[in-house]
Amino acid sequence: MAAGTTHHTIVSTQSHLWNCKNSRLDETPTKVGLVSIRSCSSGNRKLGLVCASGSKSSIIDPVQLPSPSGKGESSLILIRHGESMWNEKNLFTGCVDVPLTPTGVEEAIEAGKRICNIPIDVIFTSAMIRSQMTAMLAMMQHRRKKVPIITHKESEQAHSWSQIYSEHTRKQSVPVITAWQLNERMYGELQGLNKQETAERFGKEQVHEWRRSYDMPPPNGESLAMCADRAVTYFKDQVVPQLITGKHVMVAAHANSLRSIIMHLDKLTSQEVISLELSTGIPMLYIFKEGEFLRRGSPAGPSEASVYAYTKNLAQYRQKLDSMVQ
């Protein structure tokens, strides 16, 4: 998320009423739904984190390492995919299924190192290879050494044929759920065009409006508003329930689908979201606890003390990991 973006939002997802405070100190508690969001600065306890080296990458028995979720506490990680081959060529990509560049692969690996001490129980990606590659490469850096496995439920036969019959193997796996609703915004007739050449042809102002306005779609494409409608609906229907049950979730998706979700979480206006830029391969962390999302920002490295002072439960999780890989 852009550094200047503030986080002072309340969002309801269910009809049950809770008393939750907004981030602004001059506001009184209000009745909102089960899920609410407020601001929270990074903690200042020094909890340095170090990822396991290649010589200490043994598989950790899940029975010996219980979930740190505690009383309804869980984490949400959002990651925009690494640089794609069309990002590199400065082409409009949209819903064209393009893989990562070597730089994108490195970005995904670095993202994985930054979140290698955060528990992950389920992964959501778009249906596109660049987001799936990012999720897989990031998970390969995780200290739990669990295997990300794409779930196939597109047909009864696909679901049946992909069953895992070992309970131990299942516990050493992380389900990866793919969803077209998390796909990048469909850029219509701009897809495959060079961005600079398109600006020269149609004018910089017109192309900027197609790219950054909230409700102006490119020719035969989607506006950000249209992308937000599908992405945010899916997030509320599928991702939030996982968090409510205490699951730790990672979402690997795209600039505009994630921009839509962050717009929803941060209650950004249609004008504010225009200036929201998301870098490739940079993870963002939210903590879900007692009905609230607490934004922790983007981890800058596996040993950054202030960012990794998340919560008592995650600190204990890290310490348990340290003791089991040493």
Q: Which residues are known to be catalytic?
A: 81, 184
Distance CA(225)–CA(217), nearest Å, equals 9
Q: Which residues are within 8 A (CB) of 214 and not within 5 positions of it... i.e. 6 or more apart? A: 223, 224, 225, 270, 271, 273, 274
CA distance 211 to 137: 29
CA 69-108-133 angle, to 5 degrees, is 95
Tell the residue number behind the tokens 């979930």, with chain if given.
67
Specify the 3-state DSSP secondary structure of 4. coil
Distance CA 263, CA 279 (A): 16
Plot region of 197 (φ>0 → left; ψ -120 to 50 → alpha; else → beta): alpha
